Every structure is written in C-alpha cells, then in structure tokens.
Amino acid sequence: MQENPESAAAAPEEAPAPARFDTLPLDPKLLRAVADSGYLTMTPIQAKAIPIVLQGRDVMGAAQTGTGKTAAFSIPLLQRMLKHENPSVSPARHPVRALVLAPTRELADQVADNVKKYAKHTQLRSVVVFGGVDMKPQTAALKAGVEVLIATPGRLLDHIEAKNCVLNQVEYVVLDEADRMLDIGFLPDLQRILSFLPKARQTLLFSATFSPEIKRLAQSYLQDPILVETARPNQTASTVEQRFYSVTDDDKRGVIRQILKDRAIRQAIVFGNSKLGVARLARAFERDGLRTAALHGDKSQDERLKSLEAFKRGDMDVLVATDVAARGLDIADLPAVFNYDVPFNAEDYVHRIGRTGRAGASGLAVTLVTKSDARLIADIEKLIKRKIDLDSFELQDSRPPRFERRREPEGEAVESRAPARPAYRPPAAPKDPFFDKPYEASASAEPPAWEKAKAATPSAGKGLSSYIKPKRQVAALFGAKKPASAES
C-alpha cells in the first residue's frame, strides 16, 4: 500500500534531536570524561551556552534549576584552559586561571566534584575552598598551584588576606547562583574580590532566577553579555507535580508521613524556614521510625557533608533542611520535596522544588499552607504567574501508635502495641517516729549561754542595768586620757 503524499506533507515535522556533545569542538580528553559521566546529549542551556563561552563572550545564563548549568560553564572553560596545561610540579606554572564563586558550601563542593570529573583526563588542577573547616589543608593545596579555584566569597577573602592565593592571572570568572549571593549579603565581598581581578577577563553569570539587582550587577561587571534563556525566568519545571494543602500546624508532620506511605516514596527532602524548627522536626521524624538527617547552618561543614553523602547513598529516608539545601544540590531521582514551611522568599520556592524532577524525571512538590501563609502564597502566585488552588487533606491517623518488638516462644519476632506505662510516682520518704514527736525540754538541760552571761555580769553592786556594757579601756597610744593620779 502506497503512502499518500498529501497526507505525508501534512504531517507535522519532527522535533530536532538534542545536540550531542561529540558535535562540539572539544578536546578528546574532555569528550572522554563527558562520556565517562554518562552524558551523550546536551540540555538546552548547555547547547546554547557552550558554543558562546567557547567564543570568549560574556554570558548571562538563565535556566530552570536542574538543567545542567554547571556543565554549561565548566566544560567550555576547561577547553579554553587546555592551552595552559603542563606537567610541571612548580606552583608558578599553575596559577589560578579560572575562578568560580558559589554562595554555599554545598554548592561549591558539588561544582568542584563536577570540575574534577570533567578534567580527570587532563593535567589541569582544581581545588575548592569554603568556610567551616580548617584553612591549613586549603592553604597547602593553593600554594601547590591550581588552575581552577572554586570558592565561597567569605573564605576566599580570608585566603586573599593571608596571601595564600594570587588572582592577577585570572582569565575566567563564573558567578554561580548570583541572586542567592546577593540575597545573603555577599555583594560587598563580591565587589572586593572582583577588584583583585584583571579587567580583561571573560565573565559568566548563571542563575535560575534573574532580578533587577542581578541585571545591575551584570551591567557593572560584564562586557556586552549575551543573554541565554531556555525558559521563562522563575518558571517551575513542567516535570514537577505541585500540590498545595491547607492544613494546621499540628497536622503537618502527619500529612507528610501519610503521603510518604500512600505514594510509597522512598526518599524526600523536607524544607523548613528556621534552624531550630528543622532540628526539632528531624528529631520528631526520627521518633516516628524514619531514618532522618538534619541540614542547617549551625551544623559543622563535616556534619553537613556526611549527612548529604548518607542521603545520596540511600541511608536516610528524610533530609530535613533549611534553604542551604535549596540550591545546587544534585540528588539523582529524588521523588519528592515537601515545604513544611512556606518560604519567606518566593524565589526560594522555585529552587526548593527544583531538587526534584531533575534531568527530565518526574517529581512531587507538596507545600503545606496554614492561614498565616496567605501573603507568602500570593508572592509565589505572582512569581510563577499562575493561580494556586489549596486542597484539603483528610488525615487518617494523626497519632500513629507506637510499637515495640517482642519475642514469641517460637522465636519469631512480631509487632505488638506497647502497654500503657503507669504514671510516675516518687518513692515515699522513710518515716522515723522520733521526728514525729513534739519537742520536750530536758530537765537536766543547762541554761542558755545568754542566761549564763547575764548572771555573771557584775552590775548589781554598781547599780547599773545588766544591759549596759562597761566602757572599754583604750591604750594610751590611741589617744586615751591619763588618770589624774598619774598626772600628779
């Protein structure tokens, strides 16, 4: 049967296939590292930004979170720095050529992991520096010489003041998640750092959201930048199912527990607004039997990294975190994100739910809304430009029974409801009959000391009251008058 040519002509054209990395003018060493990472085709932001960066132009990149912005700037920069590649052990032959600034320790550490992964077949060196850990190992790595330096602004200024690194040969600067750096007050630090850099450089600014402040920053430090956008700014990913439930504060934990159970969700991140609230919520989930880790700014960097690694390995069911985990964390196949608290900043909502539904996978984002969150929800509606419908949630069991394990005679472990514990009663104090009797004076008891003193006072013969004390004698050395018999 022959195909109708008219119907064939009327058929819609197929979408062009995604661009492959091997179509880029990249060195074979970089292509091999990209293939080792399992990447074959580029994401839209990578396909648009990499050719422009390879041309040496300044770039402002805006894309939804989770679309591969890190590879969009690190791979072309490594390609441009291969001309400086050398096997020398001299630190002078390995000056800092590229500087990547990130707002948080977690994001800086993740960018450093990606850069090392892409540069593993080259002789380019990279190091990451951030606060909360000892400076000595970082100092040793910097003084050994590195081409790519990934840093948080505060710790980088510490190393600059200690003269541990020199930035006068920097050719490439990347401001990753620049809006977040401005939100947490890093603008003065950024201005100081950029003043140490050469004027002739290539500057890249990547972020999931663009604000007027970011555009002013770009006008100050970027030269004729090219704007690269793969989606409407501040738009949420279409792969994420967003649900908003109207609940009370007391029911929030029960709602999260029930959704995890009903949808058989194996892992989730729960976001809170305060460090204290996150710590308390993590302990509560732990008491419910969930393997839980807390992530907030009061934890040491070592604790934060260990919690993240345990969550990525699947050793934890729930990661309860503040917004330190809202940006840059790339956790593969994360099924769900819960907003226990509605974020104060509407843009943080976009970043929070961007932890799920990454790289084309589907995800669930649940936000728990109370009556006091009306203004915050209105800000989110204004940002994402769509009406938010609040659904009610029927909580089946707000107080789950506590279970304990007991052994049957056959040796099989079964679950049974723990018996109710009797109320605690302090033990009664021991009784002594001696202390129960009233006081009785002893007949043979001696008179009190004050009665003895009264009887011994020789005041009766002189006609003085017993309450008048005799005059104390003072030595002549201290101004006492001599008796009349002594003067004569």
CATH number of the domain enclosing 151:
3.40.50.300
Q: Which of 263, 316, 320, 321 is nearest to 290 (CA)?
A: 316
The two tokens of residue 232 are: 């409407």
Which pLDDT does position 426 carry in this prediction? 65
Residues 139 and 255 in one domain: no
Tell me which residue has tokens 């984002």: 365
Q: Pick the last residue of a domain from 358, 392, 426.
A: 392
424 lies in some domain: no
Backbone φ, ψ for residue 480 (5° rounding): -75, 140
Q: 229-240: b or e for each residue (b if 16 or more CB lie within 10 Å)?
A: ebbebbbbbeeb
Q: Per the domain annotation, does 352 fall within a domain? A: yes
Does 469 fall in a domain?
no
Q: List Cβ neighbours of 350 (8 Å cut-off, separation of 6 or more).
A: 65, 208, 209, 234, 235, 236, 383, 384
Is 116 found in the same domain as 213?
yes
Residue at 467 is within a domain? no
Give a yes or no: residue 354 inside a domain: yes
Last residue of a domain, one of 353, 377, 392: 392
Q: Are residues 328 and 215 in the same domain?
A: no
In whole angstroms, give the CA distance from residue 185 to residue 345: 14
Q: Are residues 225 and 257 in the same domain?
A: no
The residue to which tokens 């900043």 are assigned: 345
Identity of the amino acid at 120: K
Do 56 and 199 fall within a single domain?
A: yes
Domain count for the chain: 2
> Is 182 in the same domain as 262?
no
Same domain, 221 and 254: no
Fill in the DSSP letter of residue 364. E
Same domain? For 345 and 203 the reply is no
Beta carbons of 223 and 345 less than 8 angstroms apart: no
Strand ranges in 160-222 using DSSP code E only, listed in sequence order: 172-176, 202-207
* β-sheet bridge partners, residue 364: 241, 336
Q: Looking at the structure, tell me whether residues 213 and 250 fall in a common domain.
A: no
Residues 225 and 144 in one domain: yes
Q: Is residue 415 part of a domain?
A: no
Question: Whole-prediction pTM value?
Answer: 0.60
Query: In this structure, is the dihedral angle defined by the CA atoms of residues 60, 61, 64 and 68, taken in order, positive or negative?
Result: negative
Tally of CA atoms within 13 A in the half-sphere of 297 that contains its CB: 11
What confidence score (pLDDT) does residue 124 get? Answer: 94
- Contact between residue 113 and residue 328 where contact means Cβ atoms under 8 Å apart: no
10: in domain: no
Q: Looking at the structure, do residues 184 and 244 belong to the same domain, yes or no?
A: no
- Domain residues for the domain of 302 are 240-392
Residue 20, CB-side half-sphere exposure with 13 Å CA sphere: 7
Whether 195 and 283 share a structural domain: no
CB atoms within 10 A of CB 267: 19
Task: Give a yes or no: residue 405 inside a domain.
Answer: no
Give me the tens of pLDDT residue by residue for the chain, a chain 488 residues long.
Answer: 444 444 333 333 344 556 888 889 999 999 999 999 888 888 888 899 999 999 999 998 886 666 788 899 999 999 999 999 999 999 999 999 999 999 888 889 889 999 999 999 999 999 999 988 889 999 999 999 999 999 999 999 999 999 999 999 999 999 988 877 877 778 889 989 999 999 999 999 987 667 777 888 888 889 889 988 875 555 566 778 899 999 999 999 999 999 999 998 988 999 998 889 999 999 999 998 899 988 887 777 778 778 888 888 888 899 998 887 666 566 767 889 999 999 988 878 888 887 787 656 778 999 999 999 999 999 998 888 888 889 888 887 655 544 444 444 444 444 445 455 566 566 766 777 777 777 776 666 676 666 666 666 555 445 556 666 666 655 555 555 555 554 44
Q: End of a domain among 229, 254, 275?
A: 229
User: In this predicted structure, what is the pLDDT of residue 93?
Assistant: 92
Q: Which residues of 331-342 are buried (b: 16+ CB within 10 A; e: fewer)?
A: beebbbbbbbbb
